[in-house]
Chains A and B, each alone.
Chain A
């Protein structure tokens, strides 16, 4: 019987467990969980603060999940080293766990730049784990002036989540626009106006250079007084275990389409891994939940002796703020065409006869049809793409393709 070990207990770990079990029903699975709780839906921490979910409903899997899947979970322990030759993982308490197949699904951690005077700030929080959200919740009161450093997905979801529970919220970012990793300038300013109309203030192209207790001194010379500081600058992959074991690490643990690292019998998945992004044709850390699950599942299947490749990963995000939804996918590469609708903006990026990426703000109905065109690399000459720009529809495909899609004709 194979011994499977998974370092990490998040979405990628669940994918790995379910992948292993799709092939091997009997081998033992040990899960090393740094967090002292069963797997939960991490992207829901802002919805928790907003009151849209609760701890019970945030469970990513049911209560019997580990038992039903024959997993032994070691809670509250970190893996401190991997011996790829001896096939052993050493834990903080000195215990050694032997494996036949290992998956490193250790996630990422908040990146905090070395701000001067940060140690003088009493109430400061990252915003990544449920424990972070619970700590922030207990510090918040109706009068709290909150400064969020970072106008990315994490910082802005945090802002939305605590809006009704705080006195004021200011978000600053060194970038000149909100959501700079997924939106271009025009789309970002559209979203920024919406956020401002919902009571969020911004200091963009500006960041804190120094803190003194409850005051932030900005690069621009401005000062911001605050009661609570949220640090959402960015994240770094937890790749050290593999790097120190001699494995190849770039911005994340480098994996191939079968989730193999450069070390034998060691795979990696999720936010700690740097896998192939088919929209740019190169390796990239794709720190998004669907990718974590699919990488984890692929790793699990292969660890158990199956054969699976995950070759069509692309960046994609669906996110909403105060009722405005937006979706983005792929690479913003090639010729851009824009459709302005009553509800918002659609931008498509076309290159070499293929849809490479899109940004949609408002009007997100059936956007998965667009996403599939990117993932499947569907030649646009084979469909009626002009028709679909205004509204996504299956009418763009030929009748024969529709018969395959909806008629079960193979």
Chain B
């Protein structure tokens, strides 16, 4: 299946992926209205220092430890995509404790959110990738085990 991959040599550290992610998942039509003067809760985040930057989002692991560890049974994997049912999440953060990539974080209401590849919002393909100005994140099939 296609996944989001990182080319860290090309990352400018511009954080546009974070804004595009937050906008895509706001379900609003106007980006300014959705994001201006608001604290954003993106499902991808840029890490790094003044030399190296790279974006981190869910790897949709072949053996996802978050799914096995969720105390609410709120995280599941279907068709290769790890998803969270936020209505079941109680915000215990056990998934944060176990994710080796640091790819999960709470949303505005305290329940967890994660990258679901924009497959169920209006984008249909990862908005972080579409909006990346330097192809530092790509959405590709690289033959990894599902």
Contact = CB atoms under 8 A, between A and B. Distances in A.
Interface of A: 14-15, 41, 43-44, 47, 52-53, 57-61, 289-290, 293-294, 297, 316-320, 325, 327, 329, 364-369, 371-372, 375-376, 392-395, 399, 402-403, 405-408, 410
B101 A368 contact: yes
Nearest to A293: B68
Contact of B100 (A297, A368, A410): A368
B88 A407 contact: no
B102 A366 contact: yes
A329 B97 contact: yes
User: Which of B52, B87, B102 has the most chain A CB atoms closer than 10 A to its own CB?
Assistant: B102
Contacts of A395: 47-49, 52
A204 B69 CA distance: 32
A320 to B, nearest CB: 7
A327 B96 CA distance: 9
A296 to B, nearest CB: 9
A107 to B, nearest CB: 15
12 contacts: A60-B73, A320-B93, A327-B93, A364-B93, A366-B96, A368-B99, A371-B97, A395-B48, A402-B6, A405-B101, A406-B56, A408-B143
B100 A290 contact: no
Candidate in B87, B90, B144 with the most chain A CB atoms within 10 angstroms = B90
A364 B98 contact: no
User: Which 7 pairs, one residue from A and one from B, show the smallest C-beta to C-beta distance?
Assistant: A366-B102, A372-B100, A290-B69, A60-B73, A368-B99, A406-B6, A408-B142
Interface in B119-146: 142-144
B8 A408 contact: no
Given A402-B54, A406-B54, A365 B96 contact: yes
Contacts of A407: 5-8
Nearest to B141: A408
B132 to A, nearest CB: 14
Interface of B: 3, 5-8, 47-49, 52, 54, 56, 59, 65, 68-69, 71-73, 87-88, 90-102, 104-105, 142-144
Nearest to B88: A57
Given A53-B72, A289-B69, A369 B97 contact: no
Contacts, number: 122
A25 to B, nearest CB: 17
B57 to A, nearest CB: 9
B8 to A, nearest CB: 6
Contacts of B99: 366, 368
Contacts of B52: 395, 399
Contacts of B97: 316-318, 327, 329, 364, 367-368, 371
A405 B3 CA distance: 12
Nearest to B144: A408
Given A41-B71, A61-B73, A402-B8, A394 B92 contact: no
A403 B49 CA distance: 17
Contacts of B100: 368-369, 371-372, 375-376
A406 B103 CA distance: 11
A220 to B, nearest CB: 34
Nearest to B48: A395
Interface-central residue, B49, B97, B100, by most chain A CB under 10 Å: B97
B68 A319 contact: no
A394 B87 contact: no
A67 B97 CA distance: 32
Given A392-B102, A399-B8, A15 B59 contact: no
A327 B92 CA distance: 10
Q: Which of B7, B54, B65, B72 has the most CB of A within 10 A?
A: B72
A290 B64 CA distance: 12
A53 B96 CA distance: 20
Find the residue from A293, A367, A368, A369 having the highest chain B CB count within 10 A. Answer: A368
B59 A365 contact: no
Given A372-B100, A407-B6, A290 B73 contact: no
A376 to B, nearest CB: 8
A44 B144 contact: no
A191 B128 CA distance: 39
Contacts of A399: 8, 52
Given A297-B68, A320-B91, A394-B56, 8 more contacts: A59-B73, A318-B94, A369-B100, A371-B98, A394-B54, A402-B6, A402-B54, A406-B6
Nearest to B99: A368
B72 A393 contact: no
Contacts of A327: 93, 96-97
Nearest to B140: A408
A366 B46 CA distance: 13
